[in-house]
């Protein structure tokens, strides 16, 4: 493994000059620059980034801490982040925590142990112990929180208004004449689920309808659990005429389950999803859903992170992006 010293000797210059040719070529005379460059090209030399990072105390790496696997929902978010990261000289490490707090913390510790410069946090809790008496901004590394928000002040956060989004979705179902609307919720501990649930109840209350807890079931953002939830919802004496699943994936599983049981969607029962993942337009029937602006979320996160990486202080702010109701084939008027 050839190092900068070998290149320097080979080219008959000092290591410093080689370093300059790589980092600041304009500081080196043309003659020497070409000589050094020739050796670099010939040997295929690449600087050992460990040395660079150690010296510069900077890794140019970010870590995304993701609770629940890389899903059809968060992949576009991550992809947008990664592309902006790349443009700015950063690479993005994906840390899948599989919902384990130890893993959240272990990925976050990459910053303390100088394996990464900043954090994109998709989990609803801080992966650090903080001193409540000190402002958050002074204790945390460069960091942005997205989608599942930490209930704390001081962090830059990016999200949609899940409550309003769910309300909009339910109001749409109400406008189709549905009054008995089932819910397949996500993980009840997740802030996004809580907000969507609140929005669901808002809309029903506003319409003067009672909230029947029997109509609320949990799918935990999983396919099988959504299937089970669907079966339970339909087994009620008075089954819902519409089901609102808190993710498109759960909506797909819900529809599949309904069809297996002989229901027709949307003729017999309507299904509303959430997220607008790429499959939403390619399942059968295609999904009516509440779209999240996935790439915008990713982009905005990076826009909040980059200044911090440049050394600017963390600024408490909560960016709320717009959602959109996308009407496709899985919803229709209530069956009369």
| Cβ(187)–Cβ(148) below 8 Å | no
Number of residues that bind its own copies (CB under 8 A): 48
Compute the distance between CA of residue 103 and CA of residue 121 in angstroms, rounded to an integer. 12
Helix (H, G, I), strand (E, B) or coil at 244: strand
By CB under 7 A, the residues from 38 to 67 that bind DNA are 47-48, 50-52, 54-57
Residue closer to DNA, measured from CB, 45 or 246: 45
Compute the distance between CA of residue 269 and CA of residue 273 in angstroms, rounded to an integer. 13
Compute the distance between CA of residue 78 and CA of residue 133 in angstroms, rounded to an integer. 33
Task: Identify which of 11, 209, 189 has the alpha carbon closest to the alpha carbon of residue 20.
Answer: 11
Compute the distance between CA of residue 245 and CA of residue 230 in angstroms, rounded to an integer. 10
Residue closer to its own copies, measured from CB, 1 or 210: 1
Q: Measured from the CB of residue 86, what is the shortest distance to DNA in angstroms?
A: 19
| Cβ(172)–Cβ(328) below 8 Å | no
Q: Measured from the CB of residue 57, what is the shortest distance to DNA in angstroms?
A: 6
For DNA, which stretch binds (CB under 7 A), given 29-37, 194-202, 254-262, 279-287?
A: 29-37
Interacting partner of 112 out of DNA, its own copies, none (Cβ under 5 to 8 A depending on kind): its own copies
Q: Measured from the CB of residue 101, what is the shortest distance to DNA in angstroms?
A: 24
**Binding letters toward its own copies, positions 57-96, x by CB under 8 A:** --x---------xx-x--x---x--x--------x-xxxx
| Cβ(225)–Cβ(188) below 8 Å | no
Q: Measured from the CB of residue 100, what is the shortest distance to its own copies in angstroms?
A: 11
* DSSP per-residue codes, 54-109: HHHT---EEEEEESS---TTHHHHHHHHHHHHHHTT-EEEEEE-TT-HHHHHHHHH
- φ, ψ (nearest 5 deg) of residue 92: -115, 120
Residue closer to DNA, measured from CB, 60 or 295: 60
Q: Measured from the CB of residue 18, what is the shortest distance to its own copies in angstroms?
A: 15
Task: Characterize 240-277 residue by residue with b for buried, 16 or more Cβ atoms within 10 angstroms of its Cβ, and e for exposed.
Answer: bbbbbbbbbbbbbbbbbbbeeeebebbeebbbbbbbbb
By CB under 8 A, the residues from 163 to 192 that bind its own copies are none
Candidate list 6, 109, 130, 268; residue touching its own copies; CB under 8 A: 109
Interface positions with DNA (CB under 7 A): 1, 3-5, 12-20, 22-23, 27-29, 31-33, 47-48, 50-52, 54-57
Interface positions with its own copies (CB under 8 A): 1, 44, 46-51, 53-54, 59, 69-70, 72, 75, 79, 82, 91, 93-96, 109-110, 112-115, 129, 223, 226-227, 249, 252-253, 255-257, 259-260, 278-279, 281-286
């Amino acid at each position: 493994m050839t190092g900068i010293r070998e290149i320097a000797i080979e080219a008959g210059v000092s290591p410093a000059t080689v370093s300059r040719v790589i980092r600041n070529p304009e500081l080196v005379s043309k003659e020497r620059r070409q000589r050094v460059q020739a050796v670099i090209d010939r040997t295929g030399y690449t600087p050992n980034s460990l040395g660079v990072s150690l010296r510069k105390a900077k890794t140019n790496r970010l870590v995304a801490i993701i609770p629940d696997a890389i899903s059809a929902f968060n992949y576009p978010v991550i992809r947008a982040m990664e592309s902006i990261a790349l443009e700015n000289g950063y690479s993005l490490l994906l840390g899948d925590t599989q919902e384990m707090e130890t893993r959240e913390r272990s990925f976050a510790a990459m910053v303390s142990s100088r394996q990464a410069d900043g954090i994109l946090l998709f989990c609803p809790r801080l992966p650090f112990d903080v001193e409540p008496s000190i402002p958050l901004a002074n204790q945390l590394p460069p960091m942005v929180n997205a989608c599942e928000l930490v209930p704390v002040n001081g962090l830059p956060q990016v999200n949609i208004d899940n409550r309003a989004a769910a309300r909009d979705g339910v109001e749409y179902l109400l406008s189709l004449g549905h009054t008995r609307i089932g819910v397949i919720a996500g993980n009840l501990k997740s802030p996004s689920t809580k907000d969507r649930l609140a929005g669901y109840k808002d809309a029903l209350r506003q319409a003067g309808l009672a909230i029947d807890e029997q109509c609320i079931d949990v799918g935990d953002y999983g396919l099988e659990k959504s299937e089970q939830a669907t079966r339970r919802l339909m087994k009620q004496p008075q089954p819902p005429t519409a089901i609102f699943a808190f993710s498109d994936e759960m909506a797909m599983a819900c529809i599949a389950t309904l069809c297996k049981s002989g229901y027709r969607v949307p003729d017999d029962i309507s299904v509303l999803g959430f997220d607008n993942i790429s499959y939403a337009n390619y399942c059968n029937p295609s999904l009516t859903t509440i779209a999240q602006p996935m790439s915008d979320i990713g982009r905005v996160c990076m826009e909040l992170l980059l200044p911090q990486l440049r050394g600017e202080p963390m600024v408490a702010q909560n960016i709320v992006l717009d959602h959109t109701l996308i009407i496709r084939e899985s919803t229709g008027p209530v069956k009369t």
